[in-house]
Chains A and B, each alone.
Chain A
Amino acid sequence: MQKELIKLEHISKSFDGQMVLDDLSLNIHENEFMTLLGPSGCGKTTTLRILGGFVNPDTGKVIFDGADITNVPPNKRHLNTVFQKYALFTHMTIAENIAFGLKIKNKPKSYIDDKIKYALKLVNLEGYEKRMPDSLSGGQQQRIAIARAIVNEPKVLLLDEPLGALDLKLRQEMQYELIRMKNELGITFIYVTHDQEEALTMSDTIVVMNQGYIQQIGSPESIYNEPENAFVADFIGDSNIIAATMIQDKLVEILGARFACVDTGFGTKKPVDVVIRPEDVELVEPECGTIKGVVTHLIFKGVHYEMEVMANGFEWLVHSTVLSPVGKEVGIKVDPFNIQIMNKPESEDEEAIAIEI
C-alpha cells in the first residue's frame, strides 16, 4: 500500500446531544479509492464534512500529510468536494464555474483557459464553456461539478453521494467514468454512498459504517465474502443469516444439520451466526443435499432466478441460473469455503437491519 495521506484520530461528534460519530479512527492512503458505506444517519457524510472542514469534530484530530488540519477552515485545505446536489453557481457559465477556484488563487488567464479545456476534456464535455448550468442534464451538471473541483489539483477529492440523483443507467456509466478519472488523475478519492453496488464496483477500500461506528474496513472482495458481523453481511448484498452452533473447528451445526466449513478458532459448542450468500447455495437432488427442502417462491431476475426454499424451518434465499419450479423437493448443499462464520452481535449496531433504499 502507498503511504498514508490522511489520518482521522479518535473523532467524535454529536449534534444537539445526539452522537453521530463515536471515537472514529481511520487511515487513508495516497491514491486510494476509499468508500464510506452505510445507511442514512450512519455518520458517513459527517465524516466527509469533517474532512472538508465544514464540521468541526468535538474531539479528535484530522492529520493531513503530516500536519494537523483539525481547525483549518475549508478554504485553506488542499482538498476539494463534489457535493450531492452539484451545487453549481447557476448565474455563471460553465467556464466561469470551473475557473472559480483558479481565479481566487490569481492564476494567469492563459493557465486558467488551458485548465478549463483540460477539465472539460476529462469529463467528456468539450465545447460546453459558454453554456449555463441550468441548460445541462443532471449527469452533465455532475461532471461539471467534478471538473470544477479537479482543476484545483487537490490531493484528495471528496465525493458526497455524487450519483444519488441520477438514473440507474447513467449511474453505472458514471461509475466507470469516475474510475477512469481517478486513474488518470492519480489522486485520492473519498466517496460517500449508501449504495453497496456502487461501493463494490469502484472502491479499493470500503469502510462500512453504522450508527457512528466503523463496522468493517476492507477490500470489496473481503467485505462481500468475509463480513465480520451480521450488519455488514446484511447491508452488502442479499444473504442468508442463520443462527448456528460451532461444534468444533471446521464443523458447524446449522438448523440441526452439520456442515463442514473452513473457519477455526471460534471454540466448541459456541453459538454463532453464519452467512451464506444466495448464489453459494446449491440446489441438488434431495438425497444428495445436506438438508432437504421445498421451493416456495420463484422470481425471474434477468441474470438469474431468485428462489426461496423452505428447509428445516428457515426460508433460504437462493440465486441460480437453473430453474427449480415451485413445489419441487430439493436438497441444499453448500461448499465449506462459502460458509462464513461470525460472532454473535455484541451491540445493536452490529445487528442485521431492514434496509430502506
Chain B
Amino acid sequence: MKFAKKIYVALIFLFLYAPIGTLIVLSFNASKTRSKWGGFTVKWYVSLFQDETILQALGMTLLIALLSALAATVIGTISCVAMNNMKRRTRAVLMGVTNIPMLNADIVTGISLMLLFISFGLRFGFGTILLSHITFNIPYVILCIMPKMKQFNPSVYEAALDLGASHITAFFKVMLPDLAPGILSGFLMAFTMSLDDFIITHFTKGAGIDTLSTKIYTEVKKGIKPEMYALSTIIFVTVLVLLFLVNAAPDKKQDAVL
C-alpha cells in the first residue's frame, strides 16, 4: 500500500514535470533535431546570449516586471491601508471586486485592456504594456498584504500617535515594518506574474516591441530554434526561484501565500 502511494505520487509528478523536463533536456542537446540526443552542450545558451534581439527582449521584460511590480506594490499597499479602515461590509465587497481580475481569463483581460487603450487613443508600445501589467499585478499585491494587515494590532499604530508621532511617521516607523514581509512577497509575486505573462502582453504590446514570452512565440512560429529551449528553461528556473522566495519571505509562523 505504501509502495502504491509512492508510485502514485511519482506518476503525478512525472505528468506534471515531464514536459518541462523534456524542454530542459533538449536545451542541452547538441543535436539540432528533437528526436536524437547529440551529446551535452551549452552552446544554445551561449548563442542565446549573443542574440541582440533576445537580449533586448530580456531587458524589456525585466524593466517592465520591475516597474510594474514597484508601481503595483505602492498602489496595493496604499489600497490595503485604505481598505483596512473601511467598514467590514465595504471591505468585503472591495476584496471581492479586486479578486475578480485574478480569476478572469487572461485573454479576456488582454482583449478588454486592448479595447480600452484603443478607445482612449493610446499608442501601443512600452506604456500600454506597463499599464496593463500594473493593472493585473495590483490584486496579487493586495492578496499578499491583506493578511498581514489583518494581523496588525491597531493599538500599535495608536501607541505611536500617542507618543507624539504624526500619521506619516507612525505609518513608516511602525506600520510599514510590520507589513514588510507581506509587501515583499507581494512585490515578488507581482514581479513573477509580470515576467511570466504572455497573453495580456500579446494583446497590448503593439508592433516593434517584445518581451521574452512574445519573442519566443514569434520565434517558434518561424521554426524551431534550440536557443528557445534554452531561453524557456531560463525563464522556468527564474520563476521557480522567485516563487520559492515568495513563499520564504513571510515569517515562518504564518502560512505560505501560495
Residues of A participating in the B interface, judged by any CB pair closer than 8 Å: 52-54, 73-76, 80-81, 83-85, 87-91, 100-101, 104-105, 145, 148-149, 152
Contacts and interface: CB of A to CB of B under 8 A. Distances in A.
Contact of A100 (B163, B166, B178): B163
Contacts of B169: 104
A152 B155 CA distance: 18
B160 interface: yes
8 contacts: A80-B162, A83-B155, A84-B155, A89-B159, A89-B173, A90-B178, A100-B163, A100-B165
Smallest CB-CB A-B distances: 7 pairs: A101-B163, A87-B155, A87-B159, A83-B155, A91-B177, A74-B161, A104-B164
A75 B174 CA distance: 15
B191 to A, nearest CB: 24
Nearest to B157: A87
Given A81-B158, A104-B169, A89 B164 contact: no
A84 B189 CA distance: 36
Contacts of A54: 158, 161
B85 interface: no
B115 interface: no
Contacts of A73: 161
B153 interface: yes
Given A89-B156, A89-B160, A89-B177, 19 more contacts: A52-B158, A73-B161, A74-B158, A75-B161, A76-B164, A83-B159, A84-B155, A87-B155, A87-B156, A90-B156, A91-B177, A91-B178, A100-B163, A100-B165, A100-B173, A101-B164, A104-B163, A104-B165, A104-B169
A83 B158 contact: yes
Nearest to A16: B87
A89 B161 contact: no
Interface in B143-192: 153, 155-156, 158-166, 169, 173-174, 177-178
Contacts of B162: 52, 74-75, 80-81, 149
A91 B173 CA distance: 10
Contacts of A104: 163-165, 169
Contact of B166 (A53, A75, A105): A75
A113 to B, nearest CB: 17
Nearest to B176: A91
Given A75-B165, A83-B155, A87-B155, A100 B177 contact: no
B165 A81 contact: no
A98 B161 CA distance: 14
Interface string B82-125: 00000000000000000000000000000000000000000000
A53 B159 CA distance: 11
A134 to B, nearest CB: 11
A76 B160 CA distance: 12
B74 to A, nearest CB: 21
A149 B158 CA distance: 12
A148 B156 CA distance: 12
Contacts of B158: 52, 54, 74, 81, 83, 87
Contacts of A80: 162-163
Contacts of A145: 159
B153 A87 contact: yes
Contacts of B153: 85, 87
Contacts of B163: 75, 80, 100-101, 104, 148-149, 152
A36 B88 CA distance: 30
Contacts of B164: 75-76, 101, 104-105, 152
A100 B160 contact: yes
